[in-house]
Structure 1
Amino acid sequence: MKNENVPTAWSAWRVVEGEGLNDFAEILYEKKMHAELGGGIARITLNKPDKMNTLTLATVDEMFRAFYDANHDPAIGVIVIAGKGKHFGAGGDVEWERWGLREAFYNRYPHNRLMRLSRKPIIAQVQGYCIAGHNHMAYCCDFTIAADNAIFGQAGPRVSSPADGFFVPYLTKVVGAKKAREMWMLCRKYKAPEALQMGLINTVVPFAELEAEVDRWCEEMLAVSPGCLEVLKASFDQEMDGYKESCVTSAAMYPDWFDMPEGKEGGAAFLAKRKARFWDIRQREAEARRELLADYEAQHAPADK
């Protein structure tokens, strides 16, 4: 338990105000300063606990504005991404994704780009579920500090939500190729101790100590040259530059994915709380192809000599 009589070097969190920063509905944006070290932290908290902090493009737009401000504030040394409530987050809002993913895939940027282009080091502060988009957002951060109740994993193939681009193969650099494919293709879930063993996260602490542990890591970074950290982060992040941008492969392989039955089935099954019937759809597709081929051959059979 924290001793209230012991003075803290940290100021209280204050909500950031200013042009473009006053109307956030999906995030909470705060800063606090360290009296002894001189620098500060910017914290972006996903603020939809009633929906497990699910993501939409509106969330990403608000995150962009907060990231922009934090990266242009010379007093800020570290950015923390957190989630309000019991969970860090459960990925994209499946109901929104039924249409919104079209815009996200073909006309916008993924939230991971904010991690990739940030000048300041980023810590993901994770408790509870860290699934799908939240998981790959966390592993694209420079550090991930997890509570002992954290659970990590991907979910895209379960809900017909394809993903491609730099953040998919980048996981091979974090946990190795075999584990990365296992996580993405099998949609398994991993508790915090296993995630630590895999190298997916940096450390695990009791939930009650999570924020204090993040503060300690921030203090270590504020004690060294912020300019050097920015150069190092940019150097490490070059690892992602050799990979394709998001959605290039998906758009080439399945340009009409979201209008195909298989593309619709995962989300529909999730919302209906039933098992997805992907292979029923594939069987019907195979039958339709056979019928189409037979019809074509019957119409274009060579005339008897």
Structure 2
Amino acid sequence: MGDLDPILVERDGAVGRLVMNRPEKHNALRFGDLDILVEALHSLEDDDEIKVIVLKGSGKSFCSGHDYNDAASSYGLEPGKDGSRPRRPSQRKRLARDRRLGENYKAFQYALKPVIAQVHGVCTGAGLYLVELVDLAVAADDTRFSHAEQRLGLAGNTWHLNSQILQYGPKRARELLLLGDDFDGPTARDMGLVNRSVPFPELEGTVEDWVHRIAQHPRDALVTGRAMWQMAMDSLGGSDQFARGYVGHTLGTNLRFEDDEFNFLKERARTGTREAFASRQRHYTSD
């Protein structure tokens, strides 16, 4: 793969690396990028030389979530070239697209081999989902995490609420989703989102130390242990929400706004994506 590919795959002995590669967009993922990312994950799962997988981002950030321009276009929110009112896709098309999106997230929870997230810069939305779903995570101290999806006029995460409740506890999970506040690496470590928070210069070295220690285990031991972990999570209800999540995503991204409510989509159409995000920030941080 070349430098312009949205997802890069690297192989280094027993270590495979998945690199999100849209640095100019802080590695925001389009729907097609996430499809490619999962295909690349499966290619490393099928490679018997690979024992452990690192998920990381190029440039200044890990992943800033979904590319909102791509989502708006896919969901029929963009006006026509002549300025005509957009025609939204049918519910059946939305459900089909969202089911595939849910399966892509689920692929990381059900990965056959251990996956470690190497996190820095911005980690929000879809990027944060991936960190929540993989086995281990190491973050730079100055990483900026947030679950700000609901501030986009969406209902928030629908895919793996069960896993979030198990990970954070119900009250903390609701706090993260409803308030959408930024938090850093040490806070993410204290709440159990990441295993370690280290100064940025130590990030890659820490991850490399971990992956090489994990790669000392036998292949069958790693894969069998991973499968047993998944079965334990299933027994606790950890993955049940995925079956419901795609329906929830279709409903939760198709909401009506009242006149006194901040409408990100309307603001975006009026001022553009960048200014709409700035307006959102002002709205939710004003006293």
Interval containing the TM-score (normalised by the shorter chain): 0.7 to 0.9
User: CA shift at 1:24, angstroms?
Assistant: 7.1
What is the rounded CA distance, in whole Å, between the counterparts of 2:162 and 2:240 in structure 1? 10
Following superposition, the deviation at residue 25 of structure 1 comes to 2.1
Secondary structure at 2:230 match in 1: helix
**Is 2:63 aligned against 1:89?**
yes
In the TM superposition, 1:1-305 aligns within 5 A as: 25-33=5-13, 40-101=14-75, 106-107=96-97, 108-110=100-102, 111-238=104-231, 239=233, 240-245=238-243, 246-251=245-250, 254=251, 257-258=253-254, 260-261=256-257, 265-269=263-267, 271=273, 272-273=275-276, 275=279
| Matched residue type, 1:84 | S
For 2:257 and 2:5, the matched residues in 1 are separated by: 33
Is this contact kept in 1: 2:31–2:101, CA < 8 A? no
Alpha-carbon spacing, 1:258–1:241, altered in 2? closer, same or farther (3 Å): closer
Are residues 80 and 109 of structure 1, via their aligned partners in 2, closer, same or farther at CA, if it must alter by over 3 Å?
same
Tell which has more relative contact order, 1 or 2 (C-alpha 8 A, sep 6+): 2
**TM-score normalized with structure 2 length:** 0.78
Q: Which amino acid aligns with 2:9?
A: Y
> Is the alpha carbon distance of 1:189 and 1:23 closer, same or farther for their aligned partners in structure 2, counting shifts above 3 Å?
closer
TM-superposed deviation, 1:216: 0.7
* TM-score, normalisation: structure 1: 0.73
- SS of the aligned residue for 2:254 comes to helix
Residues 21, 27 of structure 2: 8 Å contact kept: yes
Structure 2, unaligned stretches of length 5 or more? Answer: 76-88
Instruction: Name the SS of the counterpart of 2:11 in structure 1.
Output: strand
How far is the alpha carbon of 1:236 from its aligned partner?
Answer: 2.2
Over 3 Å counting, the alpha-carbon distance change for 1:47 and 1:104 in structure 2 is: farther
2:81 match: none
1:144-184 per-residue CA deviation (whole Å, 9 max, x = no partner) reads 11111112111111112334544223111112111111111
Same amino acid, percent of matched pairs? 25
Alignment coverage as a number of residue pairs: 248
Which consecutive residues of structure 1, in runs of 5 or more, have no partner in the other structure? 1-14, 16-21, 34-39, 280-305
Q: CA RMSD in A?
A: 2.6
Change (3 A) 1:44 1:56: same
Distance 2:157 2:96 in 1: 12
Report the CA distance between 1:260 and its aligned residue: 4.3
